[in-house]
Amino acid sequence: MIAFLSLLARNRLALAGGIVLSAVVLLALVTPLLPLADPDVTNTSNRFVPPFSEGALLGTDHLGRDLLSRLLWGTRLSLAVGFAAAIVAATIGAAIGIIAGYYGGRTDNVIMRGVDMLMAFPYILLALAIVAALGPGLFNALIAVAAVNVPFFARNIRGITVGIAHKEFVDAARLAGLSNTRIILSEILPNVIPVIVIAMSTTIGWMILETAGLSFLGLGSQPPQADLGSMLGEARSALITNPHTSVVPGIMILVIVMSINLLGDGVRDALDPRLKSGALSRPMAATQVKRAGPVPAPTGKGLLEVQALETQFHVKDRIYRAVGGVDLHVEKGECLGIIGESGSGKSVTALSIMGLVSSPPGVITGGAAHYDGEDLIGAPYRRLRDMRGRNVSYIFQDPLATLHPLYRVGDQLIEAIRAHRPIGKEAGRAKAVELLDAVRIPNAAKRITDYPHEMSGGMRQRVGIAMALANDPDIIIADEPTTALDVTVQAQVLTILDDLRRSRGLAIIFITHDFGVVAQLCDRVAVMYAGRIVEEGRTTDILDTPRHPYTARLMACVPELGGGKRRLEAIAGLPPVVDRLPQGCAFADRCLKVQDDCRQGDIPLVRSGARAVRCLYPEEKAREAAE
Ligand code: ADP
Ligand code: MG
């Protein structure tokens, strides 16, 4: 709530709207306590007294009634009716929308066609018809205004509900045996309330205007009772001779509606969760680079050499150090594994290389990534765009999310090729078939006309790989590409990657949290924890003799087939939050062998030969002993 208010207050216009509206509401609330003249007492000898006169600050109207008093009482009434109409319309409309959206099918059809019929009438005509049927009066005007706004809420909320009603968490609630009412109240409603609030905040102003309109026509508040609309209506005949009688209520209506609209826009922006971390700006084309220190010179190691890479997320005044100085390199034809718990910074490391971390909030604050002698960090966007997919390409975890649902997979493959070189229709088709063949999709010529939803998860991931291969890259960065697949399909996908690496000399950076996959595919492996590499070495060495306690514990978590039943050693505790990294070793709090000096100063990554470990007291013995 505090966060919401502070976000709202950052929007100057919304803040101004909020302050003005609060002042008006406050005035309306205290009106009965103020020493005002009776708003309804006429005094015809005192007609049309101009503003700022003795005893009548805003003057009097055609019956000699005090305008200030009528204005405040009228504002009170107009606000009350406007808010009441908004709440009634929102409640009824949302209920209708939720029921139609949740139950769907015939219920939805019947309800929504009814709503459509209401919407087919011109708005104000419908309101007039309702008042005509019910008879004039403020309460009936309220009913009319609420009624004509119900369809707006019903349509809006139904759309949102349909989207939510098919989400997995609703299915889960159903499987848990919750009744429909419970599901609507506990699963659906909390998700649509922000939308209701937004719709309300942007329509209250409109409803106050409509109520004023009905009163202006004499169908709302009845004399002598004042509301802003009826004050305007009565002043109409004196518009030219005594304009102050119209100007006073007119300005009040303007002030109220403006402030509500400004505040409403602010509320809408502040409630949108997407705007919370990324501020209001559009993401930049490439990650922002603000390197403080010197740029490391390339040492010529490997095809891609990442040095001292630091990537942070700057969210308001917090700094999340997602990647805190990572060194990596990968040779042609080599597979480097990056392993670590979720949240350890693997993806951010990989995305930083090609400037794909979204900015804001992402900022690369240090280091270099030399590809063939060229520093990719800070390379101009045009250069990066040219190299993305052509020199370095990515495979992501969820192929359903990366493939466009509305295009055939063949067309998507051709599009990936076209991004880098022009290719004719026939040649494109042939190339797409060839790519699908390369990732062993059976019957590729027929499969290229499939949509992503017509394929199984394993098939889709193969298409993902084919797409990454489309422009014959030198390096493929695979970010947990098999996590969503079952083990047989995973084995097939890994075999495909391994073959491609051997036949095409691809360098692969393979991100995973699974030691089994590392053992199967990777030549070398780097273990990441809290944004830094804690151990690195040849896969066989690390699997035989893990030296960092974290690696050892991570491996002890892997069940072994045929290893008999044993207790799986889960690692107690959670990784540190990266905006409050502890002094010294980030793993200290979860380490069984922690000593006092582990918590002091920076622990360096000590290299000896191909091995490197960031630990003051590394494991000495073989893995069996560590268990
Ligand atoms: P993983 O190793 O699971 O791939 P990531 O690289 O995705 O982990 O994330 C590393 C850290 O960066 C996490 O602690 C995460 O909370 C943080 N992070 C990622 N994206 C953002 C963001 N947009 N804003 C703030 N923190 C983020
Ligand atoms: Mg990840």
Which segments of the chain belong to CATH 1.10.3720.10? 2-34+67-276
pLDDT at 278: 46
Give percent helix, percent strand, percent coil of the chain, each to the nearest 5.
50, 15, 35
Task: For ligand 1, say whether the CB of 338 is within 6 Å of any of its atoms.
Answer: no
Which segments of the chain belong to CATH 3.40.50.300? 326-539
**Of 348, 346, 279, the residue nearest 311 (C-alpha):** 348
Of the listed ligands, the closest to the CA of 316 is 1
The atom of ligand 1 lying closest to the CA of 346 is 2
pLDDT at 45: 86
pLDDT at 161: 93
Phi, psi of 323 (to 5 degrees): -125, 120
- Does residue 367 contact residue 291 with C-beta atoms inside 8 Å? yes
**Residue among 348, 479, 509 to mutate when testing ligand 1 (max atoms within 8 A of CB):** 348
Task: For ligand 1, say whether the CB of 396 is within 6 Å of any of its atoms.
Answer: no
Q: Give 563's pLDDT tier (boundaries 50, 70, 90).
A: low
Residue 569 pLDDT > 80: no
Helices 228-235 & 244-271 angle (0-180, nearest 10):
150
User: Which pTM value belongs to this model?
Assistant: 0.68
Rounded Cα–Cα distance for residues 129 and 298 (Å): 79
The atom of ligand 1 lying closest to the CA of 342 is 3
Mean pLDDT, rounded, for 559-569: 69
Q: Residue 279: enclosing H or E segment and its boundaries?
A: none
How do residues 428-469 score in pLDDT, each as one tens digit?
899 899 889 888 888 888 998 999 888 888 888 889 888 888
Residue 318 pairs in a beta bridge with 315
Q: Give 277's pLDDT tier (boundaries 50, 70, 90).
A: very low
**Of 438, 290, 307, 465, the residue nearest 360 (C-alpha):** 290
**Distance from the alpha carbon of residue 353 to the mean position of ligand 2, in angstroms:** 14
How do residues 90-124 score in pLDDT, each as one tens digit?
999 999 999 999 998 999 999 999 999 888 888 88
The letter for the amino acid at 356 is L
- CATH architecture of the domain formed by 326-539: 3-Layer(aba) Sandwich (3.40)
pLDDT at 527: 94
Mean pLDDT, rounded, for 589-607: 86
Using DSSP, state whether 509 is helix, strand or coil: strand
The terminus-to-terminus CA distance of the chain in angstroms comes to 47
pLDDT at 625: 45
Q: Give 623's pLDDT tier (boundaries 50, 70, 90).
A: very low
Phi, psi of 582 (to 5 degrees): -75, 165
**Of 235, 229, 234, the residue nearest 215 (C-alpha):** 229
Question: Could you tell me where the beta strands, DSSP code E, fall in 32-86?
Answer: none
* DSSP, res 44: G
* Superfamily of the domain at 2-34+67-276: MetI-like (1.10.3720.10)
Mean pLDDT, rounded, for 393-420: 86
Q: Give 21's pLDDT tier (boundaries 50, 70, 90).
A: very high
pLDDT at 627: 45
